[in-house]
Amino acid sequence: MTAAHESVLVDLVEIRSVCAALVDWFDSYTAGFPPSIDELDRAVGRAKRLPDMPGALGRALATIATGGRGATRHDIFDAVDQLRYAASAPNVDLRRKRGGPPHSAGSSRLTLNEMAGQLTLPLAGATRP
């Protein structure tokens, strides 16, 4: 885990993708169409590679990444509901602002000045009783 004074780059698109993969698996399972356990293993593996995150989303990912050890059935369904919220977040829009400098040949990285906006981390400020 990182110290409180350190910054961690969070890939919101990857977080959304991991959450969506986990939610899709659980939705299929609870609907009576159990998907491959390999799909779940891949999604859980991706969740384990995410950086530690605070808040409800971080707790939900940790619950799923640990295989639900020590969690009740209710805890797992609550975690999946948290992931569902994150998975439903819209994609990040990285369109360039008008009049911004063109990219150099071969460069696909946008600078902060070229960003049109940033997706807010789901549940970033949410607290639960």
The answer as to whether 101 is a domain residue is: no
Residue 47 is encoded by which pair of tokens? 């969740």
The answer as to whether 43 is a domain residue is: yes
Question: Tens digits of per-residue pLDDT, 67-123?
Answer: 888 889 999 999 999 999 988 876 555 444 444 444 444 444 444 444 445 555 555
The answer as to whether 62 is a domain residue is: yes
Write down the residue that tokens 């829009």 correspond to.
Answer: 93
The answer as to whether 100 is a domain residue is: no
The answer as to whether 32 is a domain residue is: yes
- 3-state class of 102 per DSSP? coil
Residue (of 78, 84, 52) closest to 65 by Cα position: 52
Phi-psi region of 57 (alpha: psi -120 to 50; beta: other; left: phi over 0): alpha
The answer to pTM > 0.75 is: no
Which residue segment(s) compose the domain that 41 sits in?
Answer: 12-87
Based on the structure, what is the number of domains in the chain? 1
